[in-house]
Structures are given as structure tokens and as C-alpha cells.
A and B are shown apart, each in its own frame.
Chain A
């Protein structure tokens, strides 16, 4: 019971607190917070907003899982942004240039995307393992390189083609498409949203039931204890980073295989960074991340309604920032409180005043 409280209380408090903060920001800027929040909630029922939220949730969810794998061992893969972009271009080019039977074509594209993401992540991983280069710095720089590389690859004299004002990769034939669930005028749910759910389950199983997950968590909790327990730090960094990159490579698959069938100039940016926030919000737990991704998608899509009531939609960005900040603080406060409470409980149950190691 205490555990559930420890996991659910912090985000609830944080969301409440940040809503309050945004309310104040709205009042200061001369708008009515209740009107604004009301508009956001009613927007969910309008047009395709609900389906957009679900689709967006799937994308954020995959990105956050990629980040969370690194977080489990205190590895900050800031490079999800670049990894999914490189993977998207490579997979789109590959998908548009081969002819394969349906199904196999789709699987091949997904596999190529995962491999491309992993390959892009392998560079900072190898740099860290062999030369001790900080992965935060190297992945951020790889993000810049990824932008440039993607722009180069879709030039019409390389792999791309010019369509009107847009440059894009050749369209993937229908054999590579993933059909969605059409809800008529409400929009179409991407078929690969279920891929996100499957990845979440696989992630949970891996973290909690496999040796690799145990070693990953042990490395994150105490690198010295993991080393004494026979966990090779270098191997873990390499594997975790490659796995993180592979999952990052899948981030754009729902959109590319479900709707766009090509990589073009309108490709969405910033999902990797949102993934970091969502992973923090969900505390690296697959359930928590799902909730975080849903919240993020809701704020993104419903925020569009704010323009209608004369409120600047940038207020959503403030809210997202406030949520992440307060969640991180709230988790830490609750964690310390829970640990102290457990020590008190153990002390009481044993009825001793024995000094706990390290207290003195």
C-alpha cells in the first residue's frame, strides 16, 4: 500500500501544483484559467483530437521507453532525437526502394529502422566505452549531425525527390504500409500504436524478469556494487545504448508506415526531447510512462483549442515544464520519506536501537 502511495502521490501532487502554477500564469496574463482549462477538456471531443491524442501517445511512449532504458543505468541518451530521425530517413529510403511481399516488407522496414537507430547510438556508446566521452555531450552533438545527414539524404540528387514545394523520399509501396483502425470522421488510429504497447510489455518483462534487466538496474543503483557482483560496466553501457537506440529508431514508424509513407520536410521534430520528459514523469516504469505519454499528448493536442478562447497556446509549454520539474522534486521528497519510514518501521518491529550502518 505504501508503495502504491509512493508511486502515485508524487505525480498527482506535481500535476496539481503545475496546474496551479499555470493558473497563476494565466491570471497574470489576463485570461480566465477556468475558461482555458475548460476549452482544453472539451477539445478532446472535437474532430479528430481524441484519435490524434492516441496516435501521439504511441509515439511519445516509444521515445520515452528508449530514454528510460538508458535512465535505468544512469545513462542519459539525449540522442533519441537524432536516432529516430536518422532511422526514419534510412527506413523510408529502404522501404521506398525495395519490392517485397506485404508483411515481410513492413517487418523489413521496421528492422532497418531499429538497426539504423542502434547504429547511430553505437557511435556515442563506443566513444564512451573506449575513450570515456560523456554520452550527454556526444549524443547532443550526434543530434546536430543527424539533422544534417537527414537533410543531405533527401536531396533530390541523392535519394530524395521534389514534389511541389516539398522534398521527400520515394513513397513506400502499399506492401509496406500498416493499416490503421478507421473511426470515420474521428480519424484513424495507427496500427503501430499496438507496437508501442507490445514494446512496453517487453520492456517490463526485460527489466523485472531477466538477468539483463537486473544487471541494468544494479548498474544504475550502484556501479560499484554491480562491479563487485560481476556486472561488466562497459558491456552494460554498450548494450543499453544500442537497445535504447534501436527502440528510438522505431519512434517514427507508426506515422511513416501508417500515414505519411515517406520522410519529408514536414517530419515532426522534438519527440526525442519530449521522450526525456515523459520518461522522467513516468519514472522509467512502463505504466507510468504510458500515463505520462497520454498526458503529454493531451496537452499537445488540446492546447490547440486555447487559440479559440484567446489564450496563447504557449501556456502548454509552461505547464509541461512545470510538471516535469515538480515531478522530479516530488519523487525525491517522497522517496526519502518512504525510506525513512521503512527504517523506522523495521526498527520498531525489531524493537532495537541498534545503530544502522553508516548512521554513525
Chain B
């Protein structure tokens, strides 16, 4: 509790015995057609790390935007240290000592650390020596050890995050909102961040830590509030509850099980990837390095990995959206003909029989302002039933869209509404339905149930299982380890652009998988390294971090 900084704040935040740092009561926020937050209650004590947990789309971010003044609640009140406040803009929130570190960094690469910190807060300490002095004072708190004159583009991800924290400290924040701060960090960096947070906590800072990663929440938080479908379910002591209990609070009483019963794996190869490599455009760092992979008919091959280790690139290279620097992609169609897809474009690969559920349905899966039936055509603009030669078959597209809506339980008033009008789960059901159309031999599913409600998740899992039983080969990339273990017949672990280990979904636990994903080495028989797996992983550490 360094009283020096709180002195110039209108409201002093720093007394653990006093009223709570932040109290949100009865917050309700409606967006057109949806209620993003409904009757949310949250109370954060001074000096604690308070985690806010919930699935994607549960309403965490909206709530934090309300607390940070980016959006105004329709109902409910915000109290900061016992005083009711109204935030019209983030500037109002900053004034009472609330700061936010966004998930996606908001830094100008071509400016120095000091310039980034001072930008927009020039009135506090000017832009010269006084500002620099203040930054150096605060830098110790955040663990940032670089000179303020260094360009941000030279910093790694972890240091950039520290600059973001420095920014909010510089503006006098005592309550800091961290929006999914670990999503971009590798495990060692997560540990360092947690150490920094604990140090700052001792000096009286209060943190609101948003995450859906339960193990991290249990590691850092003093208390955890769970939010589900826009409303707070309850607050718990993370030391007293198990991860499973927390997970059940997050998704509702019964966790749907992705488990598949009996194996349907055949020995007929559908996809064979050989020596696939991809070099990043900006440098020579391999994003994909010598990937070998086989997916058989009736088999689900799961790819596990911390986000940013090449999964996205692997999928996009197999789909032909990125050009492989070397290696081959071979697809065997239902009648047994082998086709080398390496030189083909995305459309030809789709026509060869690949269905593709992209990781981001808004950016890659849908044309949001177009009606549902036009979205049915996307990716199928050369094939029946949506096209005849160079002409679109609009009647055919509409009829088949109606079929998908019926079969996949897409909740919509009709097929003429814009895709943007549907909820996330229903949009995803439409995408899954479309990609399972036209009898694909291979389905590439990237995070197929990310950010969808439990009902849609269960339906999508069922459909994937059904297609697999009918002989479909599936390449599944997911960050949801339960989904991976439940659906997959084989799991491969991806680390820094390589497939470093195989895991047996029948015996592996999410914990084993987690440590294999971080390159910590396998602790279980269920995870077996491929080749020189753990060694090469260690080699890569220094170089990749330096370049990021």
C-alpha cells in the first residue's frame, strides 16, 4: 500500500478494512435482441485478486466494459469504495483509479515504451524527464526491466503486457482489470506474470482477473465469481472447490460429455500430410516444421496445443489458404483415388471433399450481412445443389439451407434473415451443417464449439460423431481439452510448429496433455514423445521468444 499515489486520487482505494474496492449490483445490459448481462452482482475486496470466470460469450467482457466505462449499464449500480459512481467514458473510470489491460494489446509498435505510456496522459507528468522518472519508479512494480526509450516493436509479448500494465499504473489505477491476460503467454511467462501480480498485490493493488482457464484461476485468485449466460452464478473460494465443480458452475448443472463410445477407425487413409513446412512471411522462422500426419476414415485426430503454436497455420496450409514451403498434402477420395493437393487452391481442395469449420465463424465462416441461404453457397459456389455451372442455383441453395435449419436445429425465424441476427450457437450450427453437406471425406474442424452454448455444443458433438461413424475422417483442433480427449481417437500435441508427442485419449488426463503442450515433458505413459520431442522443444525456446 504505497500511500503516495493514492493521495492524488479523488477516491482513495487502499484500505483492506474499509468498504470493498468495487461493488457491482444488479447490472443489466441489453443489446439488440440479447441480454448480455442480467442482474449481475460482484463484490471485490481491496487488495485481492478476484477472478471472473465463465465460458466464451457468457458476458464477462461486457461486464468489464461496463466497469471500465466503455459501455453504460441499462440497470444497476457501480460503487467504488462505498461511493456510487457513474462512468460515461473510460476517463471517468480512470479518474477513480480503475484501469484495464485489454486482451489484445493497444500499443503503437513504432513508438517507444515511454511514448506509449505517456500517450493520452501527457497532462500528468508532461512528456519529458519527469514522465521518464515516474515510469522508472513504476516499472519496478511491473517487473519491466527495459529502458523506456526502447521501441515497443523490440519487446516480446510478456514485456508488452508489462507496458500495458505500466500504462494503467501511470494513470493512477489501483484496481486493475486484466482481460484474459494469459491467453497470449507461454507457461513460463504466465508464472512470471503471476509473480508480478502477487508482488503488486502486496503493495495494495486490487486485480480483477478474467479467465476461463480454471487451473490458472485456482493458482492466482483469492476468490472467484462465476458468470454464466450473462448472470453471476455465485462466488467461491478457489482453494475450497475443485476444477470440476467450477466447470459445472460455468456451464450449468450437467456437463455434456463429448465422449465417443466405440472406435470406428478403419485402415483406409483419407488424409496424408508429409513433411509439411511453412515459413512465416516476415522472416525465416518456421511456423510449421516437418509435419507428418495421417487421418483415416472413421477416425478423429485431435491436435492439442497452446494457442499460437502453429495449429491455425497447419489448418490453413492443409486448406490451401497458405502456401506450404515444402511437403505434400494428399487426399484419398471415397473411391480410392489419391490426389496430391499441394499445388491446388482452397476451392479445389474443398471440391475434392474437404469440409472446413474455421476457427473464427465471424471472420471466416460467414457473410454476416447476407441471408442464411447465401451463406449456404459460400465454399460451395461451384457445386450442386447451390450452383449449376457458372450460375447460382438460388432455389437449390434455399431448399438445402432449409434442410440444414431443420436437421441441425438452427433456431431462426427463416432462411432470409441475415446471419448476424442469429446467436453464436445457431450460427455455428449453420456452419457445421454446411460443412457436413456435399458428402465430404474429410472434415477439418477448428474449435468447432468455441463460444457456443451447451445445447449447441452437444448437438455439434453428436453430428461429428455421427459423421465419423459413417466413415468421415476428422482433423480436430481445439483448445478445449475435454472436447479433444472425448472426441478424438488419436491426439497429437503441437508445440512451436512441430508435432512433438502422441497421446492416447483413453488414458490421458487433461493435466498430462497440458504439460505436454507446454513442452514440460511427459509425465505419463499416455503421452509418448515423437522422435526427439522434448529436446527440440527446449532448443526452440530462446530463438522463438526473441523473435516474438
Give residues in A with beta carbon < 8 Å to B.
Answer: 208-215, 217-218, 221-222, 224-232, 339-350, 352-360
Complex Cα–Cα for A209 and B424 (A) = 29
| Contact status A346-B33, CB under 8 Å | yes
A350 nearest in chain B by CB position: B411
Residue contact A342 to B418, C-beta cutoff 8 Å: yes
Alpha-carbon gap, A355 to B356, bound state (A) = 25
Closest to A212 in B: B390
B346→A355 contact, CB < 8 A: no
Interface string of B364-390 (1 = CB under 8 A from A): 111111100010011101100001011
Sample of 15 A–B contacts (CB below 8 Å) = A211-B392, A217-B367, A217-B370, A224-B363, A228-B364, A230-B379, A342-B418, A343-B420, A344-B33, A346-B412, A352-B423, A354-B34, A355-B34, A355-B229, A355-B230
> A-B pairs with the 3 shortest C-beta distances?
A357-B424, A230-B347, A347-B33
Q: How far is the CA of A232 from the CA of B346 in the complex (A)?
A: 8
Contact B427 A357 (CB under 8 A): yes
Q: Can you name 12 extra interface pairs (CB under 8 A) apart from A222-B367, A225-B365, A356-B34?
A: A211-B390, A214-B392, A218-B378, A228-B319, A230-B350, A230-B379, A339-B369, A350-B411, A355-B59, A356-B424, A357-B361, A360-B230
The residues of A that contact B61 with a CB separation of less than 8 Å are 360
Tell whether, in the assembled complex, residue A356 and residue B423 are in contact, meaning their CB atoms are under 8 Å apart: yes
Q: List the B side residues contacting A221 at CB < 8 Å.
A: 367-370
CB distance from B396 to the nearest CB of A (A): 13
Q: Which residues of B contact A (CB under 8 A)?
A: 31-36, 38, 56-62, 229-230, 319, 321, 345-351, 356, 358, 360-370, 374, 377-379, 381-382, 387, 389-392, 394, 411-413, 417-418, 420-425, 427-428, 451-453
Which chain B residue has the least Cβ–Cβ distance from A206?
B390
What residues of A have a CB within 8 angstroms of the CB of B412 in the complex? 346, 350
A359 touches B36 (CB 8 A): yes
Q: Does the CB pair B31–A359 fall under 8 Å?
A: yes
Note all chain A residues with C-beta closer than 8 A to B347: 229-232
Q: Judging by beta carbons under 8 Å apart, are A347 and B32 in contact?
A: yes
Q: Considering the chains assembled together, what is the distance between the CA atoms of A189 and B457 in angstroms?
A: 64
B230 with A356: CB separation less than 8 A: no
- CB-defined contacts of A346 to chain B, threshold 8 Å: 33, 412-413, 417, 421-422
Chain B residues with CB below 8 A from A343, complex form? 31-34, 420-421
Chain A residues with CB under 8 Å of B423's CB are: 352, 354-357
Decide if B321 touches A228 in the complex (CB within 8 Å): yes
What residues on A are CB-neighbors of B368 within 8 Å?
A: 221-222
Q: In the complex the two chains form, what is the Cα distance from A354 to B423 in whole Å? A: 7
Q: Are B346 and A227 touching (Cβ within 8 A)?
A: yes
Q: Does the CB pair B60–A225 fall under 8 Å?
A: no
A215: chain B residues at CB < 8 Å are 381
How many angstroms from the CA of A221 to the CA of B321 in the assembled complex?
A: 18
B375 to chain A, nearest CB (A): 9
- Which chain A residue shows the least CB distance to B348? A230
* Residue contact A228 to B356, C-beta cutoff 8 Å: yes
Q: Say which residue of A225, A229, A340, A350 sits within 8 Å of B413 (CB atoms).
A: A350
B198 to chain A, nearest CB (A): 29
In the complex, the answer to whether B424 meets A355 with C-beta atoms within 8 Å is: yes
Q: How far, in whole Å, are A100 and B345 apart by their CA atoms in the complex? A: 45
Contact B31 A356 (CB under 8 A): yes
Q: Which residue of chain A has the shortest Cβ distance to B366 in the bound complex?
A: A225
* Complex CA distance for A356 and B428, rounded to whole angstroms: 11
Q: How far is the CB of A61 from chain B (nearest CB, A)?
A: 25
Residues of A within 8 A of B56 (CB): 360
Q: Which residues of B contact A213 (CB under 8 A)?
A: 392
Residues of B contacting A212 in the complex (Cβ-Cβ under 8 angstroms): 390
Question: What is the distance, in angstroms, from B391's C-beta to the closest C-beta of chain A?
Answer: 6
Q: Is A211 a contact partner of B381 (Cβ separation < 8 A)?
A: yes
B34 engages A347 (CB within 8 Å): yes
Of A215, A340, A353, most buried by chain B (CB within 10 Å of CB) is A353
A358 to B33: give the CA distance in the assembly, Å.
Answer: 13
* Given known A210-B391, A340-B32, A360-B62, contact A228–B411 (CB-CB < 8 A): no
Q: Quick one: given A224-B364, A342-B417, are A354 and B358 in contact (CB under 8 Å)?
A: no
CB-nearest residue of chain A relative to B380? Answer: A229
B429 to chain A, nearest CB (A): 11
B33-A228 in contact (CB<8A): no
B452: which A residues are within 8 A, CB to CB? 357
Q: A344-B32, A354-B34 are in contact. Are A225 and B364 (CB under 8 A)?
A: yes
Task: Chain B residues near A349: list those with CB within 8 A.
Answer: 413
Q: How far is the CA of A99 from the CA of B358 in the complex (A)?
A: 59
Q: Judging by beta carbons under 8 Å apart, are A214 and B377 in contact?
A: yes
* Distance in angstroms between the alpha carbons of A340 and B369 in the assembled complex: 11
A359 with B34: CB separation less than 8 A: yes
Enumerate chain A residues within 8 angstroms of B427, measured Cβ to Cβ: 357
CB-defined contacts of B365 to chain A, threshold 8 Å: 225, 228
CA distance A218 to B368 in the complex (A): 10
Name, among A214, A232, A348, A354, the residue most crowded by chain B CB atoms within 10 Å (CB to CB). Answer: A354
Nearest neighbor of A213 in chain B, beta-carbon distance: B392
Asked if B346 contacts A360 (CB within 8 A), the reply is no
Return B11 CB to nearest CB of chain A, in Å. 29
Taking CB atoms, residues of chain B closer than 8 Å to A348 are 33
Q: Are A225 and B34 in contact (CB under 8 A)?
A: no
Question: Complex Cα distance A213/B392, Å?
Answer: 9
Distance in angstroms between the alpha carbons of A226 and B38 in the assembled complex: 36
CA distance A230 to B341 in the complex (A): 14
Cα of A210 to Cα of B382 in the assembled complex, Å? 10
Measured CB to CB, the closest approach of chain B to A239, in angstroms, equals: 13
